[in-house]
């Protein structure tokens, strides 16, 4: 009898589909606005509709219906040779010391940890959410799209910085790139500044 009950519980848990949502986090207010919007507007809907025929599954302390992946991508730091002679010739260049590289990487790690800690704290009060934090190194738009594909994300959420046409043309927009290249649905959350115009 106990074995049958265990099988039934396992079958019921197998019926609950886990949803994976990825949110891009950086130092901008817009990325945190995107996360807050997601928490306020999506999670109530997902947890309420994920398993309507199994309300007890939503109430279990160990049951996590949603995996929220908070992703931060830091730019790779490259040692550079700095021209030091007249006319900036390479023959008189010097190399940035490795201690500077170590300091920069340590600072990047501290910034990433602080950003993801702040983002994780925003998620603490939400039930049925498993939060994971991930840090990648490289070009943010490419790394986010690649991670979304490799992790089989159900929804990618990014904030919009409202760069304007000129900056967007030169710098590129992470949200625009992801909208064109991500292999999953993407939600671009406009900042309050954009929605008030």
CATH number for the domain including 97?
3.40.50.620
Domain count, the chain: 1
Instruction: Kindly list the distances between the CA atom of residue 8 and the CA atoms of 4, 49, 51, 114, in Å, as whole numbers in the listed order.
Output: 6, 21, 16, 43
Domain for residue 173, yes or no?
yes
Domain for residue 175, yes or no?
yes
For residue 93, the model assigns a pLDDT of 55
For residue 125, the model assigns a pLDDT of 82
Domain for residue 7, yes or no?
no
3-state secondary structure of 133: strand
Asked if the model's pLDDT at residue 52 lies above 60, the reply is no
Domain for residue 154, yes or no?
yes
Q: What confidence tens digit (pLDDT) does each residue in 138-159 have?
A: 999 999 999 999 999 999 999 9
Question: Can you tell me which residue has the tokens 């490259």?
Answer: 78
Domain for residue 67, yes or no?
yes
Q: What confidence tens digit (pLDDT) does each residue in 92-133 have?
A: 556 677 788 888 889 999 999 999 999 999 998 887 789 999
Asked if the model's pLDDT at residue 170 lies above 80, the reply is no
Q: Which domain holds residue 97?
A: 18-196
Domain for residue 9, yes or no?
no
Domain for residue 11, yes or no?
no
Domain for residue 8, yes or no?
no
Q: How far is it, in rounded angstroms, from Cα 126 to Cα 76? A: 33
Asked if the model's pLDDT at residue 6 lies above 50, the reply is no
Asked if the model's pLDDT at residue 66 lies above 50, the reply is yes
More confident residue, 19 or 91: 19
Asked if the model's pLDDT at residue 34 lies above 80, the reply is yes
Which residues are CB-contacts of 184 (< 8 A; sequence separation ≥ 6)? 148, 149, 153, 154, 155, 156
Q: b or e along 129-167 (b: 16 or more beta carbons within 10 Å of the residue's beta carbon)? A: bebebbbbeebbbebbbbbbeebebbbbbbbbbebeeee
pTM: 0.72
């Amino acid at each position: 009898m106990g074995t049958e009950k265990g099988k039934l519980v396992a079958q019921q848990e197998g019926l609950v589909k886990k949803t994976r949502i990825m949110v891009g986090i950086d130092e901008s207010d817009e990325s945190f606005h995107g996360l807050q919007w997601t928490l306020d507007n999506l999670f109530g809907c997902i947890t309420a509709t994920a398993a309507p025929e199994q309300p007890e599954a939503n109430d279990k302390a160990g049951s996590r219906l949603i995996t929220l992946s908070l992703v931060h991508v830091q730019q790779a730091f490259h040692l550079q040779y700095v021209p030091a002679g007249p006319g900036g010739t390479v023959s008189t260049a010097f190399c940035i010391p490795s201690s500077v590289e170590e300091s920069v990487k340590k600072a990047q790690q501290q910034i990433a940890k602080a950003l993801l800690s702040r983002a994780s704290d925003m998620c603490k009060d939400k039930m049925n959410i498993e939060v994971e934090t991930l840090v990648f190194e490289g070009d943010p738009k490419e790394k986010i799209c690649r991670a979304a594909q490799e992790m089989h994300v159900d929804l990618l959420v990014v904030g919009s910085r409202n760069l304007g046409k000129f900056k967007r043309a030169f710098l590129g927009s992470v949200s625009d790139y992801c909208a064109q290249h991500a292999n999953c649905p993407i939600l671009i959350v406009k900042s309050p500044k954009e929605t008030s115009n």
